[in-house]
Chains A and B, each alone.
Chain A
Amino acid sequence: MDIEQKQAEIIDQFVRRSSTCKGEALASILLEATSHPSLFAFSEIMAVPSVAELDGTTTSVYLDVLRLFAHGTWTDYKCNAGRFPELVPDQILKLKQLTVLTLAETNKVLSYDDLMQELDVRNVRELEDFLINECMYMGIVRGKLDQLKRCFEVQFAAGRDIRPGQLGSMILTLSNWFNTSENLLVSIQEKIKWADNMGELDKKRRNEIEERVEEVKKSLSTKKLHTVGRQMLTLEGMRRSLLNQAE
């Protein structure tokens, strides 16, 4: 959430600048935007009308680059390297960061091998450095590095720009979550009722036993100890055993 706040100002700046310029000047602005160290969101800039106009003109490659940064990964760039202009090292770094974000979208546990392949990194040390310095310190991801299992557990990853189709899947996830929590609420209520009922039953049982004890006590008369003795003692024993069990 703090990333959004940090980005908000920068996004505003770029949007303002790009809405005033056109054509070639835009190209340089887009270049700056894609190399800016703390900017990871490009959909606002893409929404600016003058940027959208670039499509189809000679400078449309820059729009493509912007789209790549908004939705694509490092592998996309490598496969279609011909279509895009040369990326400056800053942009390459940013693209790799965005790749990590995309990977974090699908899995919560990213293995080192996958990461090394996606990011074109040769050894674990470099990978870890990249993750720690470029991703975690920038605040776009938070997680734990597990060296023994050679994986990276993601706890939080900043959002990338939304493709139009993704909204539908987000709504689906939300509705699932909502339904699950509703069901949970219902089952908790049932459990509460069950607990209350059990408590009631227990109290009733105790009261019944106490009543029976009282009845027995009252029905004991002061007849000869001997003949009633056995009966009384048995009743006493029964009362004590009942009370013990009740406890």
Chain B
Amino acid sequence: MAPSSSSGLTFKLHPLVIVNISDHYTRVKTQLNPPPSVAAASGNGHGGDVAFQQNPRVYGCVIGVQRGRTVEIFNSFELLYDPITDILDRSFLEKKQELYKKVFPHFYILGWYSTGSDAQESDMHIHKALMDINESPVYVLLNPSINHAQKDLPVTIYESELHVIDGVPQLIFVHASYTIETVEAERISVDHVAHLKPSDGGSAATQLAAHLTGIHSAIKMLNSRIRVLYQYLVAMQKGDIPCENSLLRQVSSLLRRLPAIESERFQDDFLMEYNDKLLITYLAMFTNCSSTMNELVDKFNTAYDRHTRRGGRTAFI
């Protein structure tokens, strides 16, 4: 269903689009399958629908700029599509298009998006419907099922091409490769989302674990890259790969920077900061303990003395 695209267009996708699509999907899914507390409150009215709407498909438009052979997708908005009657709400689409044109005069409708695991036949209808706005729309598909083993983004971009199948020229979807392009503002927000801690992670242990996990994954990536370099050099030494001098030069200049943190000044600064931190933690612990002790003594005194004598107390300790 999806061989590689041959149109030669390069696609650049902004993270805002991905966040928009996933947000749209999450909203629709939560509204259809309300969380247990809400369902119980509303009296189990949607009991029958829950099984049906496990993975609702959402639809929307993507907009952006096309400069020559580069297609850059900046933003997206939602569309009203009724899967039962197969009708795309055109007036809504036009209204939205007009509004977006006012704010972003340079953006054109480049295509549409949807969620699901694979492109389907019915998608071709919507694709053809959009072909009168843009003669070659793109189809962005987000796979909402979470797969922890998968390392790449579950986003695929499809283009439509005219292929002759069984003697009949048909439009089919073909894969297109894309790169992610970020603006500074997007980088900040993506970083923020990536570092979301669990909202009840108040305890120090979970925060520490989360922080360490982040460092762990970063070092793992570094590790895999070092391994690639190492295997490349070993192969070059054995002679499997012809020597490429410019790469070797770059590697040698990189390796010269190691070890990066062994100078004396670094050790001094590092140890000083480490000792300072330990001292402050120790001091805080001291203060905590002494205040707890104080409270304990006060309460003990109050508890005991109420019984033995009024006024004038003997010190307990």
Chain A residues in contact with chain B, CB under 8 A? 1, 4, 7-8, 11, 41, 43-44, 47, 104-105, 108-109, 155-162, 166-168, 170-171, 173-175, 177-178, 181-182, 184-185, 188-189, 191-192, 195-196, 198-199, 202, 229-230, 233-234, 236-237, 240-241, 244-245, 247
Contacts and interface: CB of A to CB of B under 8 A. Distances in A.
Contacts of A192: 209, 212-213, 216
Contacts of B230: 171, 174-175, 178
Contacts, number: 129
Contacts of B253: 156-159
A44 B237 contact: no
A233 B307 contact: yes
Nearest to B212: A192
B246 A41 contact: yes
Contacts of B292: 244-245, 247
B229 interface: yes
A167 B219 contact: no
Contacts of A247: 292
Contacts of A174: 226, 229-230, 233, 255
Interface of B: 203, 205-206, 208-209, 212-213, 215-216, 219-220, 222-223, 226-227, 229-230, 233-234, 236-237, 245-246, 248-253, 255-258, 263, 292, 295-296, 299-300, 303-304, 306-307
Given A188-B212, A192-B216, A202-B203, A170 B249 contact: no
A4 to B, nearest CB: 5
Contacts of B205: 195-196, 198-199, 202
Contacts of B255: 170, 173-174, 177
A160 B249 contact: yes
Which secondary structure dominates chain B's binding surface? helix
Contact of B249 (A156, A158, A185, A229): A158
Given A159-B253, A174-B226, 10 more contacts: A8-B246, A44-B245, A170-B248, A173-B255, A178-B223, A182-B223, A185-B223, A192-B212, A198-B205, A245-B296
Contacts of B203: 199, 202
